[in-house]
Amino acid sequence: MKALLEEIAAELERKDPVSAISLLADRFPGKITFSTSFGWEDQVITDFIFKNQLPVSVFSLETGRLFPETYYVWNRTLERYNQPIHTYYPDAAELEKMVSTKGPSSFYTSVENRKECCAIRKMGPLKRALAGQQCWITGIRAEQSVNRTDMSNLEWDEQNQLIKFHPVFNWTLEDLKAYIRENNIIYNPLHDKGFPSIGCAPCTRAVQEGEDFRAGRWWWEDQSKKECGLHATK
């Protein structure tokens, strides 16, 4: 796998994001997909894919706890590009069992309960979304979290047994905003209200001045562990 990654990395070197995604789509025909949660990064990559008619499927995880503003962006995105965004829901039986026994807000009571909620609402649907895929495009950027600075834009995902590519990995927030302005990209209005990272509504708050980019996610937990498991490296 190391040799394959090195080969692909050499092919992608110095390519712009659209050309890089196009190259990967040619290498993995019908087996490449992009996950969106409708944040800044994902809206830019969605524009790359849909505007250039790249043969990459797009999907989202409908956790059932998203912000109204996220649904607004979702609808506007469908209207603008007239392309499908495949949707994956949590397993109903697992969700019903958790909420029936622990209530709708068990994630606040312990890290274990929060991880259980993420596993049911995100990890399970993600497994179904990635089944049969060989390449997963994501909106990860290096500056989003201290846990991501030692990653690269191309990597092997052991957990899901596929290649991951992050086309805007080295982009800054200002790079994203500039692209959004220049291309009139639809984006989540919560970004203008102090929400740089937007997830489920009960687990996301605005970031205060001087706080880390992802401080608003699961703010009641240890600040050094700000991942839900979707992009775990071990």
Choose among 148, 36, 145, 124: nearest CA to 84. 36
CA distances from 47 to 44, 52, 73, 139 (A): 5, 8, 13, 12
Q: One-letter amino acid identity for 190?
A: L
* CB under 8 A, 24+ apart: contacts of 202-209: 202/65, 202/105, 202/107, 202/108, 203/65, 203/107, 203/114, 204/67
Q: Is 228 a catalytic residue?
A: yes
Q: How far apart are CA 46 and CA 34, in angstroms?
A: 8
Q: How far apart are CA 146 and CA 225, in angstroms?
A: 9
Q: How far apart are CA 41 and CA 28, in angstroms?
A: 23
Contact 140, 151 (CB under 8 A): yes
**What are the phi and psi torsion angles at 95 (to 5°)?**
-65, -45
- Name the catalytic one among 117, 118, 200, 228: 228
CA 131 from chain centre, in angstroms, equals: 17
Contact 84, 58 (CB under 8 A): yes
Catalytic residues: 228
